[in-house]
Structure 1
Amino acid sequence: MIDVTVANFEAEVITASQQQPVLVDFWAPWCGPCKTLGPILEKLETEYAGRFKLAKIDSDQEQQLAAMFGVRSIPTVVLMVDGQPVDGFMGALPETQVRAFLDKHLPSAEEQQAQGEHEEAQQALEGGDAAGALDKLQEAVQADPDNDEARFDLVRLLLQRGQVDAARAAFAPVDAKAEGVQRLAALKFWLSAMDFVAEHADGPGAIDQFDQKIAANKRDFAARFSRARFLAAGQRFTEAMDELLEILMRDKGWEEGAARKAYVAVLDLIEPPRAKVADGQIPPQDPVVASYRRRLSSVVLS
């Protein structure tokens, strides 16, 4: 719990809520219902163990803040997430109703653990510790199997490290969702490219067969697409996108947009993890990704 004033409101409520939900309790010393609700909120803050932070504002002393939130009676409670109010209530609700309010909006303990592990994995990757990141991502997915972002990073990292069987096992629980989730579809494209290579590889020069077909007919889009799959399977992603662009420049709708879908999948695969920063802004996009996104837009919209 922290007492909030105009002086620390920005740091303790707005900025803090971008990292962790903040429950703002408007109260006053003379308010009887506040004396009932306050201890309940403090107890739940301890019990919920970091799932939210309690910020208390004396509405008599901080009338500017009370006016900013349109407080008409106290106690008034407002839940802040990502710098914005998302819900609230007035009056001294019983503990069961306060719990129901919190559980409606807050991540579960498992989801919170997974988020924490995922953030630590991103930090480990930024520090060059791929093995440490892999451990954290596995823990994140184990804690919250429905965290698709953590699972995406886990499967991608396994594939980057050549641990294909482990990647397939990690991807299997979300395979059925891939058609409706773009980033999962990107992983499925990568895995299917590996399957394609395994089926068509005839030694180290296997990709040459497609080079020869393309040299004979620049509009042999099937050969170009196959070559792009070979390149993607080998993590030669920018070369794969260059090949896919060759198809798009000649026939945007080939095979119901297969080249565009594959291109978008590769963009997702090469996009570096980008965690939110303290002020809620997103760091600048990776220059390679930005360049290839512009090239795609230029071709598709031309």
Structure 2
Amino acid sequence: MIDVTLQNFEAEVITASRSVPVLVDFWATWCGPCKVIGPLLEKLETQYGGRFKLVKIDSDQEQQLAAAFGIRSIPTCILLMDGQPVDGFMGALPEGKIKEFLDKHLPPAPEAEEEFLEEEAPGDAGSQLEKLQHAVATDPANDDARFEYVKNLLLAGRTDDAKVAFAPVIGKVPAVRRFDSLQRWMDALDFAQGADGPAAMADLDAKIAANRRDFDARHGKARLLMAQQQWTKAMDELLEILMRDKSWNEELARKTFIAILDIIEPPKPKVAEGQIPPDDPTVATYRRRLSSVVLS
């Protein structure tokens, strides 16, 4: 989900809709039904795996855009394709009705997706870690195996073991991007460990509410979300920085965003020669969002 203003409307809505359908949610902070439908739309965006892009427009803050779409009540959702509005609905519809609306317009999900997910369903986590540990021990120079081993240790909450496994390649961090990504994740875990749990998050939210350009607070919130493995929420927070200042703090938001993409991207499955393995839908969606913001 991306907050759209007059400044980024062309890139995030019109241009983006030429490659993927864009659903625009017109809302306002005082609107009760908006608070009901908002989380539903975000949930469906994830479930639909990149088949549409969700953006939000605050109709009070962006009255010019609301007027351009003839918005008379909220929530109102408008679907755009190829740069043009094609349909819409008003009110906080139930999830089933929203799905009916989306399915009427969106391209069907790839038939191979369910089969792919079944093939890639992970087995016992302990067994997977043992295999990766063996791969690293057998070939210490295998950077791919070490990346997956450290990543899986971190996913399992074994931070100390992950740091031990990471130590032999720490000198490669400046040269190997995925190792840099792991280092940023471990730094986020250390940051979260030194913070005061929910109180720290509440404090950062208060700072952001007081000043939407408090990028230190936004980045700190993103790091706490990384530590909690709330990846999409962390990337949404980083996008808020990038939409306002792409180069802030030596492009720290962009680098952290890329680190998350590296972390959440699953290993590519084996496919027949000449075939291209499918992209993870969440990674593909957020990679497009990053490109849209950085290139705008």
* Same fold by TM-score greater than 0.5: yes
Structure 2 gaps of 5+ residues are: 1-117
Q: Matched residue of 1:180: which SS?
A: coil
* Native 8 Å contact 2:188 2:224 kept in 1: yes
For normalisation by structure 1, the TM-score amounts to: 0.57
Of the three residues 252, 257, 260, the one matched with 1:266 is 260
| Change over 3 Å in CA distance of 1:124–1:205 after alignment to 2 | farther
- Shift of residue 223, structure 1, vs aligned partner: 0.4
CA distance in 2, matches of 1:273, 1:124: 13
247, 250, 253: which one aligns with 2:247:
253
Conservation of the 8 A alpha-carbon contact between 1:275 and 1:282: no
- Of residues 277, 285, 289, the one that matches 1:283 is 277
**Structure 1 residues 169 and 301, CA gap change in structure 2 (3 angstroms):** same
Distance in 1 separating the partners of 2:197 and 2:135: 38
The equivalent of 2:39 in structure 1 is none
1:278 Cα deviation from its structure 2 partner: 2.6
2:120–2:269 Cα contact (<8 Å) kept? no
For the residues of structure 2 that align with 1:186 and 1:151, how far apart are their CA atoms?
Answer: 13
Q: Aligned equivalents of 1:154 and 1:237: distance in 2?
A: 19
Structure 1 residue 125, shift from structure 2 partner: 6.5
Aligned equivalents of 1:127 and 1:229: distance in 2?
A: 27
1:126 to partner: Cα distance? 3.0
Distance 1:239 1:226 in 2: 13
How far apart are the structure 2 equivalents of 1:252 and 1:258? Answer: 9
Residue number in structure 2 paired with 1:184: 179
Q: Which whole-Å CA distance do the structure 1 matches of 2:160 and 2:286 have between them?
A: 30
Partner of 2:218: 224
What are the ranges of 5 or more consecutive residues in structure 1 without an aligned counterpart?
A: 1-122
CA separation of 1:186/1:280 partners in 2, compared to 1, >3 Å: closer, same or farther? farther
- Conserved 8 A contact 2:201-2:221: yes
CA 1:296–1:254 in structure 2 vs 1: closer, same or farther (change >3 Å)?
same
SS of 2:272's partner is coil
* Equivalent residues in 2 for 1:98-117, closer than 5 Å: none
Q: Which amino acid aligns with 1:249?
A: M
Q: Report the aligned-residue RMSD.
A: 1.6
Q: Contact (CA 8 Å) 1:227, 1:243: kept in 2 or not?
A: yes
1:133 — aligned with what?
A: 128
Q: Note closer, same or farther for the CA distance 1:298–1:231 as it changes in structure 2 (3 Å cut).
A: same
Partner of 1:300: 294
Code of the aligned partner of 1:232: M
Matched AA of 2:287? R
1:159 maps onto 2:154 in alignment: yes
**Percent of aligned positions with the same letter in both sequences?**
59
Q: CA deviation at 1:193?
A: 0.4
Deviation at 1:145, TM superposition (A): 0.5
- When normalised by structure 2's length, the TM-score is 0.58
**Amino acid corresponding to residue 193 of structure 2 in structure 1:** A
CA contact (8 A) 1:124 1:132 kept: no
Shift in CA distance, 160/124, structure 1 to aligned 2, threshold 3 Å = farther
Q: Larger radius of gyration, structure 1 or 2?
A: 1
1:207 paired with 2:201, answer: yes
Structure with higher RCO (Cα < 8 A, 6+ apart): 2
